[in-house]
Amino acid sequence: MSVVISLNLLTATYFSENALLPGLVKGEYDMDTEARSLLVELEAEAASHPHTLPSAWLLSRFHRLSLDAYTHNFTLNYPLGSSSKFTGRNVYGILRAARSSSMEAVMLTVPYRPPDSVHPTTAPGLALMLSLAKFFRRQKYWAKDIIFLVTEHEQLGAQAWLEAYHGASCGLPGVLDHGDLGGRGGAIQAAINLEIHASKIGYIDIKVAGLNGQLPNLDLVNLVHRMCSKEGVRHTFNNKEKVYKNNWWATWSRGIHTLVSMVLTQATGMPNGNHGLFHRFGIEAVTLEGFEKVGRGSPATFFQVGRVLEGLFRSLNNLLERFHQSFFFYLLPDTDRYISIGLYMPCLVMLAGALIIKAFTLWIKVQNNISIAEMESPSSDENDEEDKTVNLNVMLVGTAVFINHLQGVLLFSGTQHFTRITDAYSTENLLYGSYLIGCLLTIVSPYIIRLHKKTDNQWVLLNIIALLELATVLLAVGMNNFSLAFLTAVIYVPPALWLQSSNNRWYKKLLWIVLHPFFMLSWVVLGFTAVTFPELEPLQLLTKAFVANKQALVLCAVDSYIYASWTFNVATIFFLPTWSLFWQLTQSHSESIEATFDEEETAKKQQ
Amino acid sequence: MMKHFVFFIISIHLAFCVFQEDHFYEELLLKPLPSGHVYSYFQFTTVWNTDYNSHKFDHSHLFPRSLGEVVGRFNIQELHISLTEGLWRHESWGYPVNDAPPGAEVWAWFRKDCEDVDKKWKELTAALSGLLCASLNFIDSSNSISPELSFRLSGADNLLNPLNHTHLRYATLPREIVCTENLTPWKKLLPCDSKKGLATLLNAGHIHNTNYHSLGIHLRQICKPDSNCEEPIIELTQTVSLVYDLVILESSTQDWSVRKLFGIGLGGSCPLAESSLVYLDVSSNQTGSPFLLTPEPHERVVSSKGGYTSEFAVFDIKKMGDKLFNIALTHEKPRIYHLNVPPVIYANRYIVGYGQEQGGIVTKLHNTHWAPITVIFLENIPWFVPIYFHTLKIRSGGKEIKPILKKFVPGKERIRPYYLEVVVELKPRSVTEISIEFDYMFLKWQEYPPDANHGFYVGSAVITALLPVARNFTGLPQEGSLFASSMNASRPSYLIQLRTEALIINLPTPDFSMPYNVICLACTVVALAFGPIHNITTKKLLMMKINNDKGIGGFIKRAKFALSKLKSKFQKNETTEETPNSCSCSETKNKDD
């Protein structure tokens, strides 16, 4: 459904915020030779610091431009396993704007990667940033302080810096000790994260996905694309460039590709760049990732990219109010097309609506059952014994629901303790093992816990509760992270509609076991591994996926503790209990024939 | 006859001038700052040998009459106004002669005989707003406070019957943007306007090209020199502080000159001025890289004060004639910047927290001195930022510090701001954090400005301290009027008042068109959906027997039914199911509903 809507109603992006005045002035940046010599110097400096940030060199660079330069130290107390400590250091310089009193600021950040890092280098981006700092220093039009931040340890450094700037801890208290900052520059309005991998740049990819699926204001994204077009730098979204083709099918499939890749990125709830951590603090941010030029054609140089950034900062400098116009909720099928929340939300609502409608019909059915029972008892006086048997025992069903949720909460709150049971095994194995046991428990629990023999109506009531909970959770998640909710809905809604209140056949049970959230993680990781490493043998693939799976689980938990990403929390506290509610239903055996539901009817409603 | 008349006129005029007994002085201080910036401070002083009681300000000579009328009319004892753009960076620039917060700041002492201070204050700010083309008229009792400790009369006062803080009003407008429209009326208050003298340097195009510029007007009573202060006299000081960034001025070297800074050379003094002097701080000539001055100064003054010595080159403009001339400073070698030594006390202020529920204001006070220093910390928080007094925490090095004194007047929405004054002893070589928490609140929808998403301003905090040493101190001693009085003026302590950064707070701002859409949509949906769904879930149609109840039997049945209905109402356990009524079809409620 999402697909159909997106392609028929592709809307071109536009600027809502007039104050940005994108690309109105001619670029003046001309320090590309400076940037190149800085890069040489930086690479020599980096070679002598293979593991850490060359903070002394960076500080001296900032001081030479007479910027206010500071270092920022932070400590991570690793939340899992036997707690170990990691330290890091960020360096930042503040260009004090001549025309303001340090009430507002914009940021340019670069994640520093030492030579031994597994990620591609960002040194060219850092050299470009320093040359821009020198260029910006000489301009008199700045009305907002500009903070140049170089972070260490990827997202950890950025998170620690942001927490220190705002004097707040986002994750579990005591996990990330964010330290303190020496200088500040008022309220930060926007941030640009720069990851340039080479001095000859093929194209710039613009990344938007933030923590918990949060996105930056569409105006900022548009601004970056516009400035890139203006300076003639090839720019992409999710590594897909805009192509102009008359063939509608080519355009369509490309749009779908881009859209699906955005949905998949957003659904993880983890940012795909340091920019994603800023959104929580009300700072609009994007990442510009520049890839090395391969093949023929003229590359974009520091000169052009420098002018792109100059244009960006001059536009941000023009802002009178913080970003508040345009969209905060959107999907992008192309660099200059968008789907607004008004268009994509109905897809999710219709999926969730199918669940609610089924719950509704079930409710009506229960009513009928009761009234039939009443009709059958002829002398239906007020205090009849018969009434109690047909009455729904809410207590019993409530207990079942409560126990299911308790399992989820226990599993979640036990995460840290599971990894501290013993030192004999690694954290990953311990966590994976304990979760496996926990999940097997959820599977066998309906066999163990049989509180009472439930009547027909109670099974139906349980079904209603399960359906309503699934629908509510989907809608609530969809408000924050549409992609996650949509994908979950696509996977879970059809089987949830298919399941009956009782007397489910074995294949339905099997299907539902396969869809266990814990196994879903494995399938996703397996699929991802297969796509990433197509050359692997099946057995190798399985082992690799298994290892990756264990790591993914640990990372999910750690993200929840450090960055307060709620994907893990929602999965254990809401998705898992909802799953086991349905699982309980599949185990029900009822003597009386449960009214079968017209599945076609619900399917129709779904459409 | 004609001759006599002319003589008469001249003699009257002379008599008038002699009677006026007022003097005008102009001074300019140029100081290269350690950070590479250049600080220039203009001070125009008018001293008038009269006091408020004996004079109604109907006639004036050098004293600006427009200001005099305001002072006379509103019973003002002392008046301080500053209009500032930019922030004075104490950490790297040291202390200015007069500190000022970003935006506008006004504080005034009203005389003892002033009865309705609040009313006069409102009228005064309205009058000043017209006088200076600034939006000072937005000052009223809802954003003014009367600090008890931070502000004292800076001039002479009656010792036997001193004024207390109820006659003081203090307010800031951090949002005020200062520009040419304020400079022009300010210049008109000068006796020579900007036609002659040092004021000719104040060209709007050049002085707004700075990192910091601040206009000031300070009126006070001082003691008559060489007297026992039996008759106070009036002193008006008009100041301009400018900080130039040489990098922005497109200077390849660190050399600068008056012409480079102001776009024009000096062209003689104001003829009405008693003295017209330019002081150039050349102390860094010994410590930093040496430089040459052209032309040679008329005098070199060495001033040692509070353990610190500084040297000034003095140029007397009166001696230079009316020719345009330039004062230039050239370095022989490229200038080397030394590591910045921060002043004794400086402060940072910022907002902590995220989201739109709760936040905090934190002020960090740095004491770099080896001994403890007691400071007075003043907060003036607008009413739309409700702060909680119980959350006030003062911490230093992880330990909580007990303040010496706390004064707090909680604000009232739309009526008065929050006023907090804390006296605290800063430990030697320490950083002290004063934090207080606040709630974000919604305003009434018409109270949001057109650019509501820009944020709301919270004015600077004021930190008052007596410094034991005069490092980075450039201020004048309290009894002095001219810059010359600060030479060799060692005192037991030096009064400074710092203003911190102003803050922007983003109050929760509604999307002003959204509520309308939401209300329309939500109401429609609820209206359409609720009725049918409620009906289907709670009611159903049932077939009922039809009884033809007529006559007496029917009446009895109806009466029975009415009784049973009454009974059920009292019992309230379950609704009746028996409906032996004449209607053929009725709605019944479900039991478990």
Distance CA(B503)–CA(B250), nearest Å, equals: 31
B34 shares its domain with B170: yes
Chain B from 545 to 564: CB within 8 A of any A CB: none
Residues 6+ apart with CB under 8 A from A454: A396, A397, A462, A588
Is the residue at B524 inside a domain?
no
> B530 at the A interface (CB within 8 A)?
no
Is the residue at B540 inside a domain?
no
Residues 6+ apart with CB under 8 A from B500: B101, B347, B348, B349, B363, B460, B461, B462, B463
Residue B54 in tokens: 């004996």
Q: Assign 3-class secondary structure to B43-102.
A: EEEEEECCCCCCCCCCCCCCCCHHHHHHHHHCCEEEEEEEEEECCCCHHHHCCCCCCCCC
For residue B579, what pLDDT band results from cuts at 50, 70 and 90? very low
B182 shares its domain with B166: yes
Cβ A316 vs Cβ A106: under 8 Å:
yes
Q: Greater confidence, B88 or A415?
A: B88
Going by DSSP bridges, is the β-strand pair A235-237/A201-207 parallel, antiparallel, or unpaired? parallel
Within 8 A of A374 by CB-CB distance, chain B residues are 591
Residues 6+ apart with CB under 8 A from B381: B361, B387, B411, B417, B418, B419, B420, B438, B458
- Kindly report the length of chain B: 593
Cβ separation of A103 and B501 shorter than 8 Å?
yes
Distance in Å, alpha carbon of A289 to nearest chain B alpha carbon: 28
pLDDT of residue B345: 94
Distance CA(A198)–CA(A207), nearest Å, equals: 18
What is the phi/psi pair of residue B558, to 5°?
-65, -40
Q: How far is CA A25 from CA A15, A234, A312, B166, B591, in A?
A: 17, 20, 11, 54, 74
Task: Please determine, for residue B593, whether its predicted confidence score (pLDDT) is greater than 60.
Answer: no
Q: What is the mean pLDDT of residues B364-385?
A: 94
B326 shares its domain with B256: yes
Chain B from 487 to 526: CB within 8 A of any A CB: 501-504, 506, 509, 511
B350 shares its domain with B312: no
Cβ separation of A103 and B245 shorter than 8 Å?
no
Cβ B338 vs Cβ B346: under 8 Å:
no
Cα atoms in the Cβ-side hemisphere of radius 13 Å centred on B281: 24
Is the residue at B538 inside a domain?
no
Shortest CA distance from A375: residue in chain B: B542
Q: For residue range A19-72, what is the model confidence (pLDDT) as tens digits?
A: 888 888 888 999 999 999 999 999 999 999 888 899 999 999 999 888 999 999
B358 shares its domain with B235: no
Cα atoms in the Cβ-side hemisphere of radius 13 Å centred on B186: 27
Cβ separation of B211 and A98 shorter than 8 Å?
yes
For residue B514, what pLDDT band results from cuts at 50, 70 and 90? confident
Distance in Å, alpha carbon of B183 to nearest chain A alpha carbon: 17
B320 shares its domain with B363: no
Distance in Å, alpha carbon of A572 to nearest chain B alpha carbon: 26
Report the residue of A102, A178, A374, A389 to disrupt the B interface, i.e. the one with the largest count of B CBs within 10 Å. A102
Residue B275's DSSP bridge partners are B25
Report the residue of A103, A184, A341, A457 to disrupt the B interface, i.e. the one with the largest count of B CBs within 10 Å. A103
Residue A184 in tokens: 């500040």
Residue A105's DSSP bridge partners are A145, A188
B246 shares its domain with B376: no
Angle at A430 between CA A428 and CA A432, to 5 degrees: 65
Cβ A66 vs Cβ A137: under 8 Å:
yes
Of B466, B500, B533, which residue is a domain's last?
A: B466
Distance CA(B530)–CA(B510), nearest Å, equals: 28
**Cβ atoms within 10 Å of A337's Cβ, excluding its own:** 20
Q: What is the mean pLDDT of residues B341-369?
A: 92
Chain B from 334 to 353: CB within 8 A of any A CB: 337, 348, 350-353
- Kindly report the length of chain A: 607
Within 8 A of B502 by CB-CB distance, chain A residues are 101, 103
Distance CA(B242)–CA(B30), nearest Å, equals: 10
Is the residue at B516 inside a domain?
no
Of B451, B466, B481, which residue is a domain's last?
A: B466
B66 shares its domain with B51: yes
For residue B359, what pLDDT band results from cuts at 50, 70 and 90? very high
Q: How far is CA A387 from CA A375, A396, A461, B536, in A?
A: 11, 17, 17, 22
Mean pLDDT over the full length of chain B: 85
DSSP A571: I
Q: Greater confidence, B213 or A429?
A: B213
Q: Where are the domains of chain A?
A: 7-335, 344-373+392-592
3-state secondary structure (DSSP) of residue B548: coil
Cβ separation of A101 and B85 shorter than 8 Å?
yes
B332 shares its domain with B412: no
Lowest-pLDDT choice from A342-346, B223-227, B269-273, B313-317? B223-227
Domain span at residue B361? Answer: 345-466
Is the residue at B240 inside a domain?
yes
Distance in Å, alpha carbon of A308 to nearest chain B alpha carbon: 22
The backbone region for A353, taken as left when phi is positive above 0, alpha when psi lies in -120 to 50, beta otherwise, is: alpha
Is the residue at B367 inside a domain?
yes
Distance in Å, alpha carbon of B571 to nearest chain A alpha carbon: 11
Distance in Å, alpha carbon of B153 to nearest chain A alpha carbon: 28
Within 8 A of A138 by CB-CB distance, chain B residues are 247-248, 250
Q: For residue range B122-181, what is the model confidence (pLDDT) as tens digits?
A: 999 999 999 999 999 999 899 999 999 999 888 877 777 788 889 999 999 999 988 889
Nearest to A568 by CA among A352, A416, A349: A416
Within 8 A of B250 by CB-CB distance, chain A residues are 138
Shortest CA distance from B242: residue in chain A: A98
Q: What is the mean pLDDT of residues B251-259?
A: 80
Cβ separation of A168 and B354 shorter than 8 Å?
yes
pLDDT of residue B351: 94
Distance in Å, alpha carbon of B538 to nearest chain A alpha carbon: 9
Nearest CB among B352, B353, B502 relative to A103 is that of: B502
Terminal Cα-to-Cα distance of chain B (whole angstroms): 117
Return the CATH number of the domain spanning residue range A7-335: 3.40.630.10
Chain B from 71 to 90: CB within 8 A of any A CB: 85-87, 89
**Cβ atoms within 10 Å of A45's Cβ, excluding its own:** 15
The packing angle between helices B514-538 and A341-376, to 10°, is: 20
Task: Please determine, for residue B28, whether its predicted confidence score (pLDDT) is greater than 60.
Answer: yes
Distance CA(B485)–CA(B483), nearest Å, equals: 5
Is the residue at B102 inside a domain?
yes
Nearest to A589 by CA among A495, A466, A506: A506
Cα atoms in the Cβ-side hemisphere of radius 13 Å centred on B523: 6
Cβ separation of B85 and A68 shorter than 8 Å?
no
Distance CA(B581)–CA(B547), nearest Å, equals: 7
Within 8 A of B577 by CB-CB distance, chain A residues are 380
> B209 at the A interface (CB within 8 A)?
yes
Distance CA(A171)–CA(A177), nearest Å, equals: 10
Of B435, B466, B497, which residue is a domain's last?
A: B466
Give chain B's domain count: 2
Cβ separation of B453 and A282 shorter than 8 Å?
no
Percentage of chain B exceeding pLDDT 70: 90
C-alpha radius of gyration, chain B, whole number: 35
Q: For residue range B519-572, what is the model confidence (pLDDT) as tens digits?
A: 888 888 888 888 888 888 888 777 777 766 666 766 777 777 778 877 777 765
**Residue B61 burial class via C-beta count within 10 angstroms: exposed 0-12, middle 13-18, buried 19 and up:** middle
Within 8 A of B509 by CB-CB distance, chain A residues are 324
Can you say how many angstroms the Cα of residue A560 is from the centroid of all Cα atoms in its chain? Answer: 12
B31 shares its domain with B95: yes
Within 8 A of B362 by CB-CB distance, chain A residues are 167
Nearest to A184 by CA among A151, A152, A161: A161
pLDDT along chain A (607 residues), means of 10: 56 85 88 92 90 91 90 90 86 91 93 90 94 92 94 92 92 88 91 93 93 93 93 89 77 84 90 92 94 89 94 93 89 86 86 91 81 61 46 73 86 81 78 84 73 68 88 92 92 86 76 85 87 82 87 88 90 88 77 40 44
What is the phi/psi pair of residue B243, to 5°?
-125, 120
Shortest CA distance from A387: residue in chain B: B591
Distance CA(B520)–CA(B516), nearest Å, equals: 6
Is the residue at B530 inside a domain?
no
B215 shares its domain with B111: yes
Residue A98 in tokens: 């001549």
B229 shares its domain with B151: yes
Nearest CB among A96, A100, A363 relative to B537 is that of: A363
Distance CA(A70)–CA(B19), nearest Å, equals: 60
Report the residue of A16, A65, A101, A319 to disrupt the B interface, i.e. the one with the largest count of B CBs within 10 Å. A101
Within 8 A of B503 by CB-CB distance, chain A residues are 103, 186
Nearest CB among B354, B451, B503 relative to A321 is that of: B451
